[in-house]
Chains A and B, each alone.
Chain A
Amino acid sequence: MAIREQILTIIEKNSRIDVHELAVLLGAEEIDVANELRALEEEGIICGYHTMIDWSKTSIEKVMALIEVRVTPQRGLGFDSIAERIYKYPEVTSVYLMSGGFDLMVILEGKSLQEVAGFVSNKLSTLDTVLSTATHFILKKYKDHGTILTKKYEDVREKITP
């Protein structure tokens, strides 16, 4: 793997790592790592540095829903303009164009079931191009972004072995 891909695989899992440590792990010069990071940001390959939070362990209530949306593509614009109309809502966290039985997968975060239901019936379904929606609520997250949320790693090996 080239240094660029190596940087990405590391910071994808640990965005808090600093340039010095990154350089040590990769056996590279700090200045090269810093330049590469800047280039990756400028090229839009690194799009942000987010934190993974298990909100269910906090006092803040959050409801997450996956909504399958079927739409009529518009002449000359395909799915892009309808996707844009949807992703502009701040409560929408992700929008993907899908293959298969529906067109757009919309991921939505709200404070309650009612709020999400309200969004779907008032805002999403009423869009001209939207033919149908199917809303699925997430009940429990076992694993997210490659991280298991329900169990902690435990080292069960013998402490000393040859």
Chain B
Amino acid sequence: MRNPLADKVTTIKPSGIRKFFDIVQEIDDAISLGVGEPDFDTPWHIRDEGIYSLEKGRTFYTSNSGLKELREEVCNYLKRSQGVTYDQATQVFITVGGSEAIDLAMRAMVNPGDEVLIPQPSYVSYEPCAILADAKPVIINLKEENEFRLTPQEILEKVTDKTKLLVLPYPNNPTGAIMEKKDLEAIAKVIIEKDLFVITDEIYGELTYNGKHTSIISIPGMQERTILINGFSKAYAMTGWRLGYACGPRDIIRQMIKIHQFAIMCAPTTSQYAGVEALRNGDEDVAMMREEYNRRRRYLLNEFKEMGLQCFEPYGAFYVFPCIKQFGMTSDEFATRLLREEKLAVVPGTAFGDCGEGYIRISYAYSLDDLKKAMERLRRFIADISAK
């Protein structure tokens, strides 16, 4: 029999997280700080709206681009949070989570051989999506000395005449880094000068701790060359609902919807009704969760300081990304030993790109009580390896 598989797919490395997941499963009483989703339940009024839509029999497809009410609410949200206007009919559509939108944006925008700039450490899907779209991923290795922000120089070093797209993953998973207005203005200049397009993944946009998040779409000249991706998973604790959206110039959105229409049809209808409620009446829930995350973030940073674990202060998402280089181990060794010896699971930084070597990702999507138990273990582990 012939090989049934496509080379393009088989050559993609499986996610580095998978291996870790398998080990954690074997250990019964392991505490995990490895989760990339909120610990909060979806606020009840949002769930209730989903249930109500089922009761009313709203069980059919919606239009390909999603419920009109939801697209309108997305536009209202972007207007009030970023001061930017989108047309609900032609510039917005609803996707199955932010992750579908990442895939579609790549597929709609690149030709074979086009180069896509991907800053790392970052979420695991950008690179495979670029490869599947026949583009060439070009990695930008972000540096801790810049607090893992992206600088214009770093773009210029990697730009060629084939570069078409830049992925902007902020607030960042796994580092917790953010880009402030001044940082965005600095890179916008280079982006416009080099005529690049941007996919900005702002799924953690509601979770920043030193002031409101600024989107690159609010920087003059950027809206017309940017696909903004966001969703409901992190802000409203709705990961399982699989609901996201993409906004951008109508010519790009139209082509993205074309793929979406053939591959997906439409995002889950129940989730879309719940999403309307989230955007209309969910601000207070988001504020409450943000406040809670911020306390946990401060708690962890203080614990790290006390146990002598070096970590830059992240202002976004719900991750901290401490540096473990001082212990003379790779991220993988550190994480594996921590799991075997103290039964505490964290994710090695290398799962998010080679330049994550020397770091581990710790999630604070856990209650303070859970974090306290975990920090006891981490403290003991560090004391133990430091003594040897």
Contact = CB atoms under 8 A, between A and B. Distances in A.
A37 B21 CA distance: 44
A25 B32 contact: no
Contacts of B295: 10, 25-26
B123 A162 contact: yes
A24 B299 contact: yes
B34 A159 contact: yes
Interface in B10-39: 15, 17, 20-21, 24-25, 30, 32, 34-37, 39
Contacts of B347: 160, 162
Given A25-B299, A26-B298, A27-B298, A160 B17 contact: yes
B15 A162 contact: yes
Nearest to A155: B39
A61 interface: no
A151 interface: no
Contacts of B370: 155
Given A162-B15, A162-B124, A162-B351, A157 B302 contact: no
A84 interface: no
Contacts of B34: 159-161
Contacts of A24: 298-299, 302
Contact of B36 (A1, A9, A161): A161
A158 interface: yes
Contacts of B333: none
Contacts of A160: 17, 20-21, 24, 32, 34-35, 345, 347
B35 A159 contact: yes
Nearest to B30: A159
A26 B36 CA distance: 24
A24 B370 CA distance: 17
Given A1-B291, A24-B302, A159 B351 contact: no
A157 B298 contact: no
A26 B370 CA distance: 19
Nearest to B305: A24
Contacts of B368: 25
Contacts of A27: 298
B25 A157 contact: no
Contacts, number: 56
A27 to B, nearest CB: 5
A21 B300 CA distance: 11
A161 B39 contact: no
A161 B240 CA distance: 13
B35 A158 contact: yes
Contacts of A10: 295
B345 A157 contact: no
Contact of B32 (A1, A6, A159, A162): A159
Contacts of A161: 17, 34-37
Contacts of B291: 1, 6, 9
Contacts of B17: 160-162
Contacts of A155: 39, 366, 370
A94 B24 CA distance: 50
A19 to B, nearest CB: 14
B25 A159 contact: yes
A9 B35 CA distance: 26
B24 A159 contact: yes
Contacts of B30: 159
Nearest to A20: B302
Nearest to A6: B291
Nearest to A27: B298
A1 to B, nearest CB: 7
B58 to A, nearest CB: 27
A44 B6 CA distance: 72
A4 to B, nearest CB: 14
Shortest beta-carbon contacts, A-B, top 3: A160-B34, A25-B295, A159-B32
Interface of A: 1, 6, 9-10, 21, 24-27, 153, 155, 157-162
Given A26-B298, A161-B36, 13 more contacts: A1-B291, A9-B291, A25-B368, A155-B39, A155-B370, A157-B35, A157-B37, A159-B25, A159-B32, A159-B34, A160-B21, A160-B24, A162-B347
19 contacts: A9-B291, A10-B295, A24-B298, A25-B298, A25-B299, A26-B295, A26-B298, A155-B370, A157-B35, A159-B24, A159-B32, A159-B35, A160-B21, A161-B36, A162-B123, A162-B124, A162-B125, A162-B173, A162-B352
